[in-house]
Chains A and B, each alone.
Chain A
Amino acid sequence: LAKTTQPISMDSYEGQEVNITCSHNNIATNDYITWYQQFPSQGPRFIIQGYKTKVTNEVASLFIPADRKSSTLSLPRVSLSDTAVYYCLVGDIGGVTGGGNKLTFGTGTQLKVEL
């Protein structure tokens, strides 16, 4: 399983764009990159997933360079409610290998958004 490294914490202010970078130097060919968000006393919640280049949905964008050794989660115009822990995960999707997505969660990035 590819190991990921991301900053322990980040601070931001409401209305700013936040970029959280994750490194995954030993990512495998079948691995996808997935980001989850976790609020205190809740289970993680899926944010976005991608394999290469750029992926955008209604809450975030995910930028993946050609070598796929890193990825950046971009949160546009954050608000106080975006204060949470963000996890970057790398693993093959169960549908590709049929073996289940055995995700490895690191300690994540604690994002704190202030007024």
Chain B
Amino acid sequence: NAGVTQTPKFRILKIGQSMTLQCAQDMNHNYMYWYRQDPGMGLKLIYYSVGAGITDKGEVPNGYNVSRSTTEDFPLRLELAAPSQTSVYFCASSYASLQEETQYFGPGTRLLVL
């Protein structure tokens, strides 16, 4: 299993440009998450999904959009990039049971908006 994969690894955007951060998992997990991590800070939840066709906002959703058309994929869309969106973005997935839940994180996408 590849686990959670993210593309691209690094991207530079100009202000106002748009892009999609890709995330895929091959573990058949029902839950998927997008986080952002600013330098020296913890992760903040942007959006999450509990299954295909179901998404919901996290702590910092403004400026982002998501979709979940399949169990495997959970892309994050930035429509009008702003310098405040310069960050490292992590995608995660999990399969929750009544006994435990472990989130598996991807390697991250480093985004620089200039």
> Does B111 sit at the interface, judged by CB under 8 A?
no
Q: Which residue of A lies closest to B106 (CB)?
A: A43
Give B contacts to A, CB under 8 Å: 4, 30-31, 33, 35, 40-45, 48-50, 56, 58-59, 90, 92, 94, 96-108
Give A contacts to B, CB under 8 Å: 32, 34, 36, 41-46, 49, 87, 93-96, 98-108
Q: Which residue of A lies closest to B35 (CB)?
A: A105
Give bound CA distance, A94 to B32, whole Å.
11
Give bound CA distance, A36 to B58, whole Å.
19
CB distance from B6 to the nearest CB of A (A): 9
Residue pair A43, B42 in contact (C-beta under 8 Å): no
Give bound CA distance, A101 to B43, whole Å.
14
CB distance from B10 to the nearest CB of A (A): 11
CB distance from B33 to the nearest CB of A (A): 8
24 A-B contact pairs sorted by A residue (CB < 8 Å): A34-B101, A36-B103, A41-B108, A42-B107, A43-B4, A44-B43, A46-B104, A49-B102, A87-B43, A93-B96, A94-B31, A94-B101, A95-B98, A95-B99, A96-B96, A98-B50, A99-B50, A100-B56, A101-B31, A103-B103, A104-B45, A105-B43, A107-B41, A108-B42
Which residues from chain B contact A100 at a C-beta distance below 8 Å? 31, 33, 48-50, 56, 96
Which residues from chain B contact A101 at a C-beta distance below 8 Å? 31, 94, 96, 101, 103
Chain A interface secondary structure, helix, strand, loop or mixed? loop
CB distance from A78 to the nearest CB of B (A): 22
CB distance from B68 to the nearest CB of A (A): 12
Which residues from chain A contact B33 at a C-beta distance below 8 Å? 100, 103
4 further A-B pairs in the complex, CB-CB below 8 A; given A93-B97, A95-B101, A101-B96: A43-B107, A100-B31, A103-B45, A105-B43
Which residues from chain A contact B41 at a C-beta distance below 8 Å? 107
Which residues from chain B contact A107 at a C-beta distance below 8 Å? 40-42
Give bound CA distance, A114 to B42, whole Å.
24
